[in-house]
């Protein structure tokens, strides 16, 4: 098996020079489990730190645009579109992120990074409500982060 990021003792970015520019789309999702009381306050926009979902959306978009700075050997990509959807249930919030670009490599890492940072931001915004009497988070959990779809189509 040939490793794509190493050559002998050297580490490098994968060479995509000869690949054609194509329209790339990736969608990822994940969820954060929270206490029902916390979810209620998020819905009512009564969280002390501010609007949780709006803040998570801004954080996700910033993360998407900066994925190449966070993930070693990731190519910087010209992001052309991002879409975030939040679904608030009684005990969890799901986040779905779709990222598009016209490039020589895909945007899966950007979509995954966007989901991850959105979920981490939600946690940070509500952590004071989620702590138990010992300062622990027995109900709070981020899970099921995954790529749910990836597409590539030739440029016209």
Write out the H or E segment, with its range, that includes residue 122.
helix 108-130
Judge contact between 29 and 94, C-beta under 8 A. yes
Judge contact between 74 and 67, C-beta under 8 A. yes
Active site residue 124: yes
Judge contact between 140 and 123, C-beta under 8 A. yes
Token readout for 109 is: 């890492």
Q: Which of 15, 37, 124, 132 is catalytic?
A: 124
Distances 124 to 3, 21, 102, 105, 107 between C-alpha atoms, Å: 37, 38, 33, 32, 26
Residues classed as catalytic: 124
């Amino acid at each position: 098996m040939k490793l794509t990021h190493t050559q002998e003792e050297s580490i490098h970015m994968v060479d995509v020079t000869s690949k054609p520019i194509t329209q790339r789309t990736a969608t990822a999702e994940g969820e954060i489990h929270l206490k029902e009381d916390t979810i209620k306050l998020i819905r009512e926009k009564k969280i002390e730190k501010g609007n949780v979902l709006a803040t998570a959306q801004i954080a996700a978009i910033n993360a998407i645009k900066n994925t190449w700075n966070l993930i070693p050997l990731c190519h910087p990509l010209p992001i052309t579109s991002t879409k975030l959807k939040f679904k608030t249930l009684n005990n969890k919030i799901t986040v779905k992120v779709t990222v598009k670009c016209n490039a020589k490599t895909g945007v899966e890492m950007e979509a995954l990074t966007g989901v991850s940072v959105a979920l981490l931001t939600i946690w940070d915004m509500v952590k004071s409500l989620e702590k138990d009497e010992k300062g622990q988070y027995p109900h709070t959990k981020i899970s099921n982060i995954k790529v749910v779809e990836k597409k590539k189509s030739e440029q016209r």
